[in-house]
Amino acid sequence: MQGCNQSHCSNTPYCATALGRSVPMSEAMKIVAPQVNGMLSENTKFHICVDEVVQRKAFLAGMIASEGKYGLEWCRRAVEESKGDLGKAREWLEVNGRRVDE
């Protein structure tokens, strides 16, 4: 398996591109099979490759959430509302977000 071929990919260990090497089909199936088998479960997490904009927004939301003031979902919403602008996302949260201590 060759992976997504997106140079920015950081979807390790789920993408051969992020790993920096091709992965034999047998190895890839060991990684993919649990996701496929759990498709009907609400608890299954899917690890898919995304474009650079989506990856950057996810990173920014995680970065803000790691500060502990707001939950991840609020941070994701703020980053979406601000179109990926970190300063504007923080401003949006101050006005609209619900803090974890509330």
Strand partners, 70: 99
- Cα(97)–Cα(34) distance, integer angstroms: 35
d(CA 11, CA 4) in angstroms, rounded, equals 10
If you average pLDDT over residues 31-37, what whole number do you get?
A: 80
pLDDT at 66 exceeding the cut of 70:
yes
* Res. 64: pLDDT tops 90: yes
**3-state class (DSSP) for residue 36:** helix
Statement: the pTM of the whole predicted model exceeds 0.85: no
Q: Which residue has the tokens 């504007």?
A: 88
Phi, psi torsion values for 33, nearest 5 degrees: -55, -45
